[in-house]
Amino acid sequence: MAETNEYPDDELASLLEAVLNREITSPEQERLAERLSADPQARTEFIRVTAFDAMLTHEFPAADYPLASSALEIANSKPSAKPRTSRRSTWLSVAAALMLLLGWIAVQKDPWKQVSPVNVVARFSNLNDIRWMDPTTQGLSSDGIRIGQRIELSSGSAEVTFNTGAKLRIVGPTIVEPRTNNSVFLTMGDLHLEAKTPQSKGFTVVTPTSKFVDISTSFSASVSPDGLSRLTVTEGAVDVVLEGTERSPRLTAGDSLYVEPGERQVMTRIEEGDGTADFKFPTIQPPSREDLADQSRGNVEIRVTRGNLKFKTGKGTSGPISLLTNGTGQSHQDAPNESAFFEDHSSGNFLIDLGQNTAIYKINTYSWHQHETNERHRHRARQRFTLYGYSDEQLPDLTQMPTESGWTRIARVNSDHFFEVATPLDRPAQQASSVTAARGEIGNFRYLLWEANGNTFFGELDVFGAPHHETQN
**How would residue 318 be classed by pLDDT, with cut points 50, 70 and 90?**
very high
Cα 19 from Cα 32, distance rounded (Å):
9
Q: What are residue 60's phi and psi, to 5 degrees?
A: -130, 80
Q: Are 287 and 462 in contact (CB under 8 A)?
A: yes
Give the strand pairing for 151-162 and 167-180: antiparallel
Q: What is the number of other CB atoms lying within 10 angstroms of the CB of residue 200? A: 21
From 6-15, 16-25, 100-109, 295-304, the region with the lowest mean pLDDT: 100-109
Average pLDDT in the 14-22 region?
69
The answer, yes or no, to whether residue 450 has pLDDT greater than 50, is yes
pLDDT at 52 over 80: no
Mean pLDDT (whole number) for 115-139: 74
The chain-wide mean pLDDT, for the chain, equals: 80
Q: What is the average pLDDT across 111-133? A: 73
Give me Rg for the CA atoms of the chain.
24
For residue 239, pLDDT beyond 70: yes
170 or 49, which is more confident: 170
DSSP three-state, residue 158? strand
Q: Which fold has domain 111-259?
A: Jelly Rolls (2.60.120)
CB burial class (10 A; 0-12, 13-18, 19+) of residue 193?
Answer: buried
pLDDT of residue 137: 56
pLDDT for res 436: 94
Query: Of the ranges 113-117, 209-213, 338-342, 438-442, which one carries the lowest mean pLDDT score?
Result: 113-117
Q: ω before 402 within 30° of 0 (cis)? A: no
Residue type, 340: A
Q: Averaged over 166-195, what is the pLDDT?
A: 94
Please tell me the distance from the alpha carbon of residue 340 to that of residue 321, in angstroms, as a whole number: 6
Give the percent of the chain with pLDDT over 90. Answer: 48
CA 29/CA 46 separation, integer angstroms: 13
Strands (E), 376-473: 384-390, 408-414, 430-437, 443-452, 458-467
Neighbour count for residue 47 (Cβ, 10 Å):
25
Look at residue 106 in the predicted model and tell me its pLDDT.
Answer: 40
> How do beta strands 204-206 and 183-195 pair?
parallel
| CATH 2.60.120.260 residue window(s) in the chain | 266-471
Average pLDDT over residues 333-352: 93
Predicted local distance difference test score (pLDDT) of residue 423: 87
Instruction: Report the share of the chain in percent with pLDDT over 70.
Output: 77
Longest dimension (CA), the chain: 75
Can you give the pLDDT at residue 363?
A: 97
Confidence check: pLDDT of 367 > 60: yes
pLDDT at 112 over 70: no
Q: What is the CATH number of domain 266-471?
A: 2.60.120.260
**Kind and range of the H or E run holding 231:** strand 229-235
DSSP classification of residue 292: T
DSSP structure class, residue 247: S
296 and 327 in contact (C-beta within 8 Å)? yes
Rounded Cα distance between 110 and 149, Å, is 10
In the chain, CATH 2.60.120.1440 sits at 111-259
* CA–CA distance, 178 with 193 (Å, rounded to integer): 13
Q: What is the pLDDT confidence band of residue 54, given thresholds at 50, 70 and 90?
A: very low
